[in-house]
Amino acid sequence: MSTYLVKRLLLMIPTLIGISLIIFILMVAAPGRPGDKGQAFGEINATTDPTKEKSKGESQRLFRRQFALDRPVLWNGWTSLADDHVRTTVETAAADQEAVGIKAKREAKERLEDWGYYAVPALVRILDTTEADAQSRILYWLRFSATRLPVQPYGRVLDEETVRRNAAWVAENAELAKWGFLPNDPPVRRAEVLSLWKGWYAKNRARWEWSGLEKARIGLTDTQFGTYWGNLLRLDFGVSHVHKRPVLALIAERIPITVSLAALSILIAYLLAIPLGILSAVRPYTLDDRIVSTGLFFLYSLPSFFVGTLLLRAFTVGDPWDLFPNSSWRGEGAARLNTWEQLRDVIWHVTLPLVVMTYGGLAALSRFARTGMLDVIRSDFVRTARAKGLSESAVVLRHAARNGMMPVVTLLGGVLPGLIGGSIIVEYIFNIQGMGLLTIEAINNRDYNVVMGEALIVAALTLVGILISDVLYAVLDPRISYK
């Protein structure tokens, strides 16, 4: 068994890699510009300050930078941007929509935004070869590209080197923000600004002088593919732009609540479904079987959001009863209670959510248990057990039930992730601070890092559920061996 477990755990690694690759492909192939709310840069003019413009849309920047969506997919060749290419892109971004089209204009602006620091050498070189409005447009994108935004901590502890670098960037950004001119400024001011930019670039030229090895490293690693897998290897799911905290810390905080609710729901469902399934199989097509079947199918037909809202209205607001709290999974002062009082408080809070999470699965599991028992109870070994004089309870519980529960065990692999997915509705209705409510908030606020992090966590839980169901096969059926 231990060898089998090790093999299955090792097999999970390539499976998770495959799932991660599918998520990456979906992210790249998705239409539009992920992380963007559809707001492109406004019209560029001489009075616009790009250093302030770049600080807007922080949430979109965090997401795009986390997954390098502002970089090429597989190979980054931006270390050798041609001057003509950059010039043409700036002209397209500034042209009238009627002349170049809305799509081309938008894509040119997005391309200049993505190039960022890589475009500085080309912009500095062509700044001297333009004049009037064309020069103002080049200067706009030069100021935008040269501005570097500090690394935000958002729940992480920044090392001394990052803090020092942030301070240097802030100071440099403040200085660069002053190096602009207006259309009515005299030629002397224009010449002064151009001289400042050329002097700054000459002083910092080494930042853009990459060796062949460095260009190869940037080409492979500073891409969507390289960044995505690098983050996964470090278990870095990025930062939530809503909560301003690392996604992994958020999930670690919320997942115990959701998994606890799901585990309790599974336990209750199995404890009720198996006896009901056995009862229906032992007495098929009788009145008892019909009553149980009708009641369970009735429960199964009720949507969880309807039942949750009904229970919330009937048992929490005093009309007709006020028996349970209407939100959260424990009281505000629970931390001051002793262990048993805390347990009672939690049970009091989660009773209604557990009812909503359990009744649907109970109906399905009991039907599978009934079907499995009906297949087994007519088997030869069951008739042999009866012929040997064993009591009916011993025949049913010791012989038939153990083999008849195999279909129910098979379902266990999908029950856990299914309940975690279903907890979205329950946690939203009862305002329980678990993964389900976190998912709703992330979707509503376009917090992509959280959504993708939770997708990978649910995939891992699915694999764990499948492993547990496989192990239980051997526990229930001694004929199965994993040696």
Write out pLDDT tens, residues 394-450.
Answer: 878 777 777 777 777 777 666 766 766 667 888 888 888 888 888 888 888 777 778
pLDDT of residue 46: 47
* 27: pLDDT strictly greater than 80: no
pLDDT of residue 44: 53
CB-based contacts of 381, cutoff 8 Å, min separation 6: 399
Tell me if the bond preceding 417 is cis, omega within 30° of 0: no
* 219: pLDDT strictly greater than 90: yes
Going 450 to 452 to 455 to 461, the CA torsion angle's sign is negative
Count of other CB atoms within 10 angstroms of residue 398: 12
Distance CA 402, CA 409 (A): 11
**Which residue has 């799932």 as its token pair?**
19
Q: Which of 65, 71, 110 is nearest to 219 (CA)?
A: 71
Distance CA 236, CA 231 (A): 5
C-alpha distances (whole Å) from 163 to each of 64, 105, 146, 151, 166 are 22, 37, 19, 8, 5
Residue-wise pLDDT for 249-288, tens only, equals 888 888 888 888 888 888 888 888 888 888 888 888 888 8
The answer for 180, left when phi > 0, alpha when psi is -120 to 50, beta otherwise, is beta
Structure tokens at 414: 């999908």
Tell me, which fold does domain 247-476 have in CATH?
Answer: MetI-like fold (1.10.3720)
Name the more confident of 166 and 339. 166
Burial class (CB in 10 A: 0-12, 13-18, 19+), 339: exposed
Count of other CB atoms within 10 angstroms of residue 46: 15
Q: What mean pLDDT is predicted for residues 224-248?
A: 83
Distance CA 209, CA 214 (A): 9
Q: What mean pLDDT is predicted for residues 144-152?
A: 83
* 34: pLDDT strictly greater than 60: no
pLDDT of residue 325: 77
Q: Which of 43, 130, 39, 141 is nearest to 89 (CA)?
A: 141
Confidence category of residue 41, pLDDT binned at 50, 70, 90: very low
pLDDT of residue 213: 93
Q: Please write down the HEC assignment for all residues of the chain.
A: CHHHHHHHHHHHHHHHHHHHHHHHHHHHHCCCCCCCCCCCCCCCCCCCCHHHHCCCCHHHHHHHHHCCCCCCCCCCCHHHCCHHHHHHHHHHHHCCHHHHCHHHHHHHHHHHHHHHHHHHHHHHHHHCCCCHHHHHHHHHHHHHHHCCCCCCCCCCCCCHHHHHHHHHHHHHHHHHCCCCCCCCCCHHHHHHHHHHHHHHHHHCHHHHCCCHHHHHHHHHHCCHHHHHHHHHHCCCCCEECCCCEEHHHHHHHHHHHHHHHHHHHHHHHHHHHHHHHHHHHHCCCCHHHHHHHHHHHHHHCCCHHHHHHHHHHHHCCCCCCCCCCCCCCCCCCHHHCCHHHHHHHHHHHHHHHHHHHHHHHHHHHHHHHHHHHHHHHCCHHHHHHHHCCCCHHHHHHHHHHHHHCHHHHHHHHHHHHHHHHHHHHHHHHHCCCCHHHHHHHHHHCCCHHHHHHHHHHHHHHHHHHHHHHHHHHHHHCCCCCCC
What is the average pLDDT score of the chain? 81
Distance CA 52, CA 48 (A): 9
Confidence category of residue 39, pLDDT binned at 50, 70, 90: very low
Confidence category of residue 214, pLDDT binned at 50, 70, 90: very high
Distance CA 85, CA 220 (A): 22
Confidence category of residue 38, pLDDT binned at 50, 70, 90: very low
The amino acid at residue 149 is: L
Is the full-model pTM beyond 0.75?
Answer: no
* 320: pLDDT strictly greater than 80: no
The amino acid at residue 248 is: L
Confidence category of residue 474, pLDDT binned at 50, 70, 90: low
Residue-wise pLDDT for 49-108, tens only, equals 665 555 555 556 666 766 777 888 889 999 989 999 999 999 998 888 888 888 889 889
Centroid of chain to Cα 268? 29
> Picking from 25-39, 132-146, 200-214, 388-402, which range would have the lowest pLDDT averaged per residue?
25-39
Confidence category of residue 357, pLDDT binned at 50, 70, 90: confident
Where exactly are the structural domains of the chain?
42-236, 247-476
* 355: pLDDT strictly greater than 60: yes
Structure tokens at 316: 């929490």
Confidence category of residue 308, pLDDT binned at 50, 70, 90: confident
Distance CA 249, CA 331 (A): 23
Distance CA 430, CA 132 (A): 62
